[in-house]
Amino acid sequence: MANLKEIRTRISSVQKTKQVTAAMKMVSAAKLKKAQDAIVQIRPYADKLHEILSNLTGSLSNSDDNLYGVQRKPSKVLLVAITSNKGLCGAFNSNVIKQVNQLAENTYREQNQKGTLSILAIGKQAYAILKKSHNVIGEQNRIFDDLNYANVSEIASSIMDAFVAGEYDRVDLVYNQFKNAGVQVLVSEQFLPIEQEKETEMVHSEYIFEPNQEDILRDLIPKSLKTQFYKAMLDSFASEHGARMTAMHKATDNASDLIQDLNLTYNKARQAAITNEILEIVSGANALAQ
C-alpha cells in the first residue's frame, strides 16, 4: 500500500485536474450557447436555399452555364476534413479522421492509389494526423479565430474555382453535424458537383427568372454553395463545444469519484499506521513491565 505522502500528493494532483476540467466545461458551455444560436438560425435558410438550388439545377441540367453541376468521372477527388484546433473533446476529431481514412481506403481507393486523392484540412487536429499518410494540400486553422461568413466564403470560393478549372472532379465534406449538446452526427456529404434531385423526388415548380436565367446561375448558385459550406463550419464549431463540454463534464465526475477512492485509501492507510503505532507502544510497554 502506498504511503500517506504519496496518497496526499495524488489527491492534490487530482483536485487540481478537477478544477481545470470544471473550468473548461464552463467555458465550453458559454461558447456553445452562441454557436448553437448561430447554427439554429442559419439552418432553415440554408436548407431551403439548397432545396431551391437542387430543383433549379435539375431544370437547367442541359445548360452550359451550370458550371458547378458538371458531372465528371471522379478521377480527382478532394476531401475537406473539418475538425478543431484543440483537443480534449472526446471522439469529435478522431471520428472525422477515421471517416476520411475509411473513404480513402474504400470509396476512393482507386484515386488514393493513383495519388489523385487530396485532402484539405480545416483544423490543426486533422492536419497533424492526416499529413502523415495522405496528400494534404493545405490547412485552414486560423478560420476559427474569427468564424464568419466572409472568411468562410473565401475558402469555399477557392474550392469552387478549383472545381470549375478541372482540378477536382468531386469534392466531399466530412464533419460533425450538431444535433444537441450531447450528440454529434458524423456527416460525409457531396459538396461539388451539385447533386440534382431525382425525377421522382423533384418538386416541379414554374420558376420566373428575374432579371434573367444567366444572372440567377451566376449569383444564386455560388451563394447557395457558400452558404452550405458556412453551415457545415457552424455545425462543426457548435459540435466541438458540445463535445468538449460533455467530455469535461465526464472528466470532472471521474475526478470526483477518484478523489473519493483516494480519500478512502488514505483513511485506511492512516488507520493502519495508527494501529501499528499503538501495537508498538503496547509491545514496548509490555516488554518494560516484564
Q: Is 89 a catalytic residue?
A: yes
> What is the rounded distance in angstroms from the CA atom of residue 176 to the CA atom of residue 236?
5
Determine which one of 7, 53, 81, 89 is catalytic. Answer: 89
Rounded to the nearest 5 degrees, what angle is found at the Cα of 149, between the Cα atoms of 95 and 74? 55
Specify whether the CB–CB gap between 141 and 124 falls below 8 A: yes
Query: What angle do helix axes 213-289 and 4-59 make, rounded to 10 degrees?
Result: 170
Residue 75: CB atoms within 10 A of its CB come to 13
Q: Who contacts 196 (Cβ-Cβ below 8 Å, separation ≥6)?
A: 54, 57, 58, 61, 69
The β-bridge relationship of strands 170-180 and 183-192 is antiparallel
Query: What is the Cα 19 distance to its own chain's centre?
Result: 25
Residue whose entry in the numeric block shows the C-alpha cell 460533455: 246
Cβ atoms of 140 and 116 closer than 8 Å? no
Alpha carbon distance 213, 217 (integer Å): 6
Tell me which residue of 141, 170, 175 sits closest to 155, measured CA to CA.
141
Residues identified as active-site: 89
